[in-house]
Structure 1
Amino acid sequence: MWGKIGTNHLTQFADVENTLADVQDRQVVPRIWQKDYSVWKDDPFEIGDRLGWLDLTNTMLPQVADLKDFANQIKDLGYTHVVLLAMGGSSLAPEVIRQTFGNAPGYPELIVLDSTLPKRILEVANQVDLAHTLFLLSSKSGSSIESLSLYQHFRRKVDILLGSTTAGKNFVAITDLGTPLARLAQDQGFRNVFFAQSDVGGRYSALSHFGLVPAALIGVDLEKLLLRATSMRATCSPAVHISENPGATLGGIIGSLALKGRDKLTLLTSPSIVRFGLWAEQLIAESTGKDGKGIVPVIGEPLLEVESFGRDRVFVYLRVEDDSNLELDAFIQEIQSSGQPVLRLDLADVYDVGAEFFRWEMATAIAGSVMGIHPFNQPDVQATKDTTDGLLAQYQISGRLEEVEASNSLDELLSQATTGDYLVILAYVHENPEIERALAAIRKRVTKEYKIATCLGYGPRYLHSTGQLHKGGANTGLFLEITESVDHDLPVPGQIYSFGVLSNAQARGDLKALQTSGRRTAKLTKEQVLALNIG
């Protein structure tokens, strides 16, 4: 269905063919299927119990009927919206599914709420009829401060509206067995709890309950989605030579090129699957960004002249047949003609995202082996959590948040840019067309003038996505944090701090953690960004 990834033009790039041959000679693919942790490290810690994603299509297909029955029950009860309260691996695959498929006729609309910004929370609350909204609280650990705070906020509102004895029926949980969320769901009378496989890490969980329950609720054809993934799984099997293995080939190429300095994986997609990049971004960044190494996923970057792109790039184009591809087709042709490495992945239709979920999981695992990286842990994520917790603890004592100093000049930050660097915009602002245009203009200017890649992450979403890479990867990032004032704050029930304080603590905590890791930083307000008036 997908065919081979064309590699002929990649022979000019050092070591690609040698790397693929080495992956084949070391029997990396068969060993992964045997769940041999030594493919990556000598210690099985956080590897041996993280390989359940290999078998998810087999374990989830028999559950499709039950998931469809539950979804139809919710539809028949007249729910108009499903609001997913989740972060990171629990929210990004559902966001891909929401954007790609939308809701089938008669099924509720899915809204993904992965923000602590009061403006975004108010926006979602104003979009829905609370009495006819199902809140899906999704967390592998069951202890995410964002998701639990959002739950307390909406639970209080639904309690007032429907009464505390019946309000629980508007809530469903997805989590692992034995988590704080599992206990909360039982104690607070949730309609249902879906228990996910504990041997599947969050960013590898797209084809588990974390991705499929939201998909079922909006009427996606789960069987069709999983069968596409099953077909990809078969072509990534141990019996398939690496030259014909779409996951292993992709992983070997991007891992090999990253080791040779082409570590900016620039991902382009057809419009119908444009949010796929958000999911792939987390998978790649959090899996490979550690030990001073990593692959930097670049998504949503403006299309520019070929001379704007440095020699630290590899371009990957996910092309959906019969989509609006004319502009991207022409751009990719120019990029390849300029001598940049380009990989094109063809999708027959949008249901092939099921196949792509598996392909990219396998590719990331292979790239980790090639690069000598443990792709299933996230050792540096805790730094920001600890710093944020410290700031919140101080706030509860003093009533104020500690300021974190940084340069207030974008030009000063960019003056430090050298070949192979990249700019990261960390935006703790409400997403809207005005700020999106301003940030796109900054990215365009920086890429054209400095020939470096640019990335954009909205906080606190990126903390659970690219945050690991920012602190644990190579020290080649330039980090610009953007914040905005809180006009209408919201309390977090049961806490001294508000959502505005929480989001500010997360922004400052991450800035402090970046500085502690020796990263180059600057900070601006939204008003200062808009005043730049770039392009």
Structure 2
Amino acid sequence: MSVTFGDDSVADAAAEAARRLVEEGVPRALADGDATLWGAEAQSEAAIRLGWLDLPTTSRELLPQIGELVERARAAGLEHVVLAGMGGSSLAPEVICASADVPLTVLDTTDPGQVRRALADRLDRTIVVVSSKSGSTVETDSHRRIYEQAFRDAGIDPASRIVVVTDPGSPLEQSAREAGYTVVLADPNVGGRYSALTAFGLVPSALAGADVAALLDQAAEARQRLGADDDPGLLLGAAIGAAAASGRDKLLLDDSLSGINGLPDWIEQLIAESTGKQGRGILPVAGSEPNEADDELTAGIDTESGVEVQGPLGAQFLIWEVATAIAGRVLGINPFDQPNVAESKANTTRILEDAGDGPLPTGAPALVDGPVEVYGDVPAHVKDLSGVFTELLKDIPERGYLAILAYLDREAAFDVPVPQEASFEAITDIWAAHDPASLQGLLAIRTDRPVTFGWGPRYLHSTGQYHKGGPQNGVFLQITGVVSGDLEVPGKPYTLGRLQLAQALGDLDALRERGRPAVRLHLTDREAGVRHLLAAAREV
């Protein structure tokens, strides 16, 4: 594991920050689990959130139980592994399985189309991992209820197909045991975004076929260097913390040359949720090219960059966690709480309850351009979608950013028919032409400000904290779409599609209450709407 620098100014600032931290005894104190490092106000929270430091050792105790679970699943012919989880409960397994090239279906969505696709895939050979630290995550609870009903309708006992990962004493543990489900308990002294090497990361990954013992071996080797003079976590944390303190608070993540797939998405939730509070923080930017702006720092995963972080995945997890904790110390921020995450959840609940059986409070569109309705404050001279994009880009303040937030099916583009004889490059182009995520690149080349992209509601469990608790310099473009083929959530008074829209509206309310510029685009025809979005962006 190594941290090196391709930028001399970053290297100098990191060395100076690391020297001060060593003089203050921070690296050794962190390695020893000292909860006082982030101040008196953070001490009580930190005292119950530092278990991740010892996971390379303590998580080995889970391996026999996980091994037995894998053997039973294989013997029963259960080859389709579905993970229902949000935030840290889904992002780490997604990276682990993508990097190991083993299949895992991740449900961190409330989009009915995406859930229907998973339900239609080999239900007779499906095993579902329901992961929730609190045991009350609304998305995961909905997935559990839907799969329970689907299994029963197919004549399958849900107890033979559902595995629950949760904290000891959570409401989910009790209900799961009563239902006869297999339960694997995670370390309660680890927060969700630091949980990659707990049961939340290991159970679904092992079921999918990844070598999780090797991950722990990699992390254990990195753990031995914590507190040492060559501690890579200290150097990385000093670099990103010092850079942010001096104004370089946009962290662009580049993994273009790495064999590790998707790590920037995991780093994004770790850093954004840990540091984005009190009007401060570091904004991680995944999937976007640098603009060479003076508020940017580029970090490469096995890729040459301003800061280059090299090493295997298990070690990367631990070192980035250490770095985030160190950066919190440098910035004077508690890296273990998430004071603003509950707001959007509360707004969602209020919207659903207030609406009852009636329509949700969407309001009237400010304008309609083909299959796209535009909601929000739109200047009178703006008459079409390209004009909306132009105004949003103009609204980005100095040192600000644009966040695109899409409450849609993130796999729908892959359903588009492709010619049988098409090359891989041609197929990729076809998918990109139908993918809402392509909007990030199209708008990014039209501004010198960072553009981020997040799938809703998954971003609520990652960058959502930064959007509301971080610096007041974000502009927000939210995208929703008409729902066809909705799904009932058994035992609840709402459908999945209704919950999805309520979540979007709830977060929009939270942003607008803070004065964040925000526009919602609603696609009255999803496929045509996405094509129209991308075409309009090209006209900006």
Give the TM-score category using the shorter length. 0.7 to 0.9
What is the rounded CA distance, in whole Å, between the counterparts of 1:392 and 1:50 in structure 2?
33
2:376 is paired with a residue whose SS is coil
Aligned to 1:325: none
Aligned to 2:141: 148
Which amino acid in 1 is paired with 2:274? S
1:450 is paired with a residue whose SS is coil
Identity of aligned residues (%): 37
Aligned to 1:506: 503
What are the within-5 Å matches in structure 2 for residues 160-179 of structure 1?
160-162=153-155, 166-179=157-170
What is the rounded CA distance, in whole Å, between the counterparts of 1:175 and 1:31 in structure 2?
29
Indicate if the aligned counterparts of 1:10 and 1:16 stay in contact, CA closer than 8 A: no
1:117 correspondence with 2:111: yes
1:180 correspondence with 2:171: yes
Aligned to 1:24: 22
Indicate if the aligned counterparts of 1:61 and 1:223 stay in contact, CA closer than 8 A: yes
What is the rounded CA distance, in whole Å, between the counterparts of 2:180 and 2:110 in structure 1?
25
What is the rounded CA distance, in whole Å, between the counterparts of 1:525 and 1:502 in structure 2?
15
Between the two proteins, the alignment pairs up a number of residues equal to 492
Indicate if the aligned counterparts of 1:255 and 1:370 stay in contact, CA closer than 8 A: yes
1:311 correspondence with 2:289: no
Indicate if the aligned counterparts of 1:174 and 1:195 stay in contact, CA closer than 8 A: yes
What is the rounded CA distance, in whole Å, between the counterparts of 1:425 and 1:317 in structure 2?
23
Indicate if the aligned counterparts of 2:254 and 2:286 stay in contact, CA closer than 8 A: yes
Unaligned runs of 5+ in 1: 104-108, 320-328, 337-341
What are the within-5 Å matches in structure 2 for residues 26-425 of structure 1?
26-43=24-41, 44-103=43-102, 109-127=103-121, 129-162=122-155, 166-190=157-181, 192-236=182-226, 238=227, 240-241=228-229, 244-269=230-255, 270=257, 272-301=259-288, 303=289, 308-319=291-302, 332=304, 342-347=306-311, 352-396=312-356, 398-403=357-362, 406-407=376-377, 409-425=388-404
Indicate if the aligned counterparts of 1:102 and 1:218 stay in contact, CA closer than 8 A: no
Give TM-score scaled by structure 2 length: 0.87
Indicate if the aligned counterparts of 2:88 and 2:195 stay in contact, CA closer than 8 A: yes
Instruction: Provide closer, same or farther for how the CA distance between residues 257 and 61 of structure 1 changes in structure 2, counting only shifts above 3 A.
Output: same
The CA deviation at 1:161 is 1.4
What is the rounded CA distance, in whole Å, between the counterparts of 2:167 and 2:120 in structure 1?
31
The CA deviation at 1:78 is 0.8
The CA deviation at 1:310 is 1.6
Instruction: Provide closer, same or farther for how the CA distance between residues 441 and 70 of structure 1 changes in structure 2, counting only shifts above 3 A.
Output: closer
Give TM-score scaled by structure 1 length: 0.88
The CA deviation at 1:195 is 0.7
Aligned to 1:326: none
Q: Deviations over 1:415-447 (max 9, x none)?
A: 212331111000011124378546455433433
Aligned to 1:106: none
1:424 is paired with a residue whose SS is strand
Indicate if the aligned counterparts of 1:394 and 1:400 stay in contact, CA closer than 8 A: no
Indicate if the aligned counterparts of 1:46 and 1:377 stay in contact, CA closer than 8 A: yes
Which amino acid in 2 is paired with 1:459? G
What are the within-5 Å matches in structure 2 for residues 480-495 of structure 1?
480-495=477-492
Unaligned runs of 5+ in 2: 364-374, 379-387, 414-429
The CA deviation at 1:7 is 4.0
Which amino acid in 1 is paired with 2:461? H
What is the rounded CA distance, in whole Å, between the counterparts of 2:438 and 2:164 in structure 1?
40
What is the rounded CA distance, in whole Å, between the counterparts of 1:7 and 1:149 in structure 2?
45
Aligned to 1:516: 513
Q: Deviations over 1:253-273 (max 9, x none)?
A: 001101111111111113532
